[in-house]
Amino acid sequence: MSKKSIQCHFTILAVAISTLSGNESELVPILRSSEERAYPPPLLTEAELPSYPWEIKGHPELRPIQKEDLHCQGRRDHTPKILSNGESHQDCDGPLEHGLPVTVQPILVTLLNWIQEKTGCEVVVTSGHRCPRHQTYLNASSKALSSKHQVGAEVNFYVKGWEDRAEEVIGLLFDYYNADPKRWDRETDVRTVPWYNDEVFVKLYQKDEGRDEDNSHGFAFIDIQVRGVQYTWKGSQEYYR
Ligand SMILES: [Zn+2]
């Protein structure tokens, strides 16, 4: 590039700078008139709260039952019991000691929430999962030791405000299936003839039946067992190893 060419470029740049600074001095302030108003915000209207899929339909005030509500009710501060073989047996320490089995049956949670929806009242789970140690503490008879509570396929509950209407609650429970249940004509440990269908077996324990540390309340309670669940006492023991 020649000396003359460099000089020419310099001149153009100097003119450009002087033009820019000239424009800045011509800036005019924005003026507002006394008539101007702020842009008015839209009027607020009260909106309905959205409903969430985990809410109890029609009863957002009720807390949905979750499988964690079926945790083992064992307590280490329960007085040890002497078993028929003469050994002292200590209860487990519930969720402080162990978790839930992976086999907790989802239909139990679904049915308990269905009951909450239909009654509009709180379901109180009194006994869900029982680990083998807790089951042995509650009832160590050979029949009780095959309880489906141990594999998360059985639950006991009552409904607050419906304590004296347990049979009505059972009627609502089977409304879920849109079909009348059958009645179980074989002998069981309850006076009221149980109900069942292909999926569940339901017993009603009256106020003077089936009392243990889990069901030490004074109300009748409902027992739901899931049918067709395969398990063994050995298997439920091994789960915790
Ligand atoms: Zn336990």
Q: What is the pLDDT along the chain (241 residues), one digit of tens a residue?
A: 444 444 444 444 444 444 445 555 688 887 878 777 777 788 999 998 888 888 999 898 999 999 999 999 999 999 999 999 999 999 999 999 999 988 899 999 999 999 999 999 999 999 999 999 999 999 988 888 788 999 999 999 999 999 999 999 999 999 999 999 999 999 999 999 999 999 999 999 999 999 999 999 999 999 999 998 877 666 666 655 4
Pairing of strands 182-183, 154-159: unpaired
What per-residue confidence (pLDDT) applies to 9?
Answer: 46
228 CA to middle of ligand 1, Å? 24
What per-residue confidence (pLDDT) applies to 231?
Answer: 72
Q: State the DSSP H helix or E strand holding residue 15, giving kind and residue range, or none if neither.
A: helix 3-24
Per-residue pLDDT reduced to its tens digit, 49-58: 888 888 999 8
Within-domain flag for 3: no
Average of per-residue pLDDT values in the chain: 87
Within-domain flag for 86: yes
Within-domain flag for 50: no
Within-domain flag for 10: no
Within-domain flag for 84: yes
Per the structure, the complete domain to which residue 229 belongs is given by 67-238
58 CA to middle of ligand 1, Å? 35
32 CA to middle of ligand 1, Å? 75
186 CA to middle of ligand 1, Å? 31
Which sign does the torsion angle of CA 212, 216, 218, 221 carry?
negative
Which of 174, 156, 80, 38 minimizes the C-alpha distance to 118? Answer: 174
Within-domain flag for 16: no
194 CA to middle of ligand 1, Å? 27
Sheet-wide strand order for 123-127: 123-127, 154-159, 221-226, 200-205, 195-196, 182-183
Within-domain flag for 19: no
* Number of structural domains in the chain: 1
| pTM assigned to the model | 0.77
Within-domain flag for 8: no
What per-residue confidence (pLDDT) applies to 88?
Answer: 96
Per-residue pLDDT reduced to its tens digit, 106-140: 999 999 999 999 999 999 999 999 999 999 999 98
Would you give the end-to-end CA distance of the chain in angstroms?
88
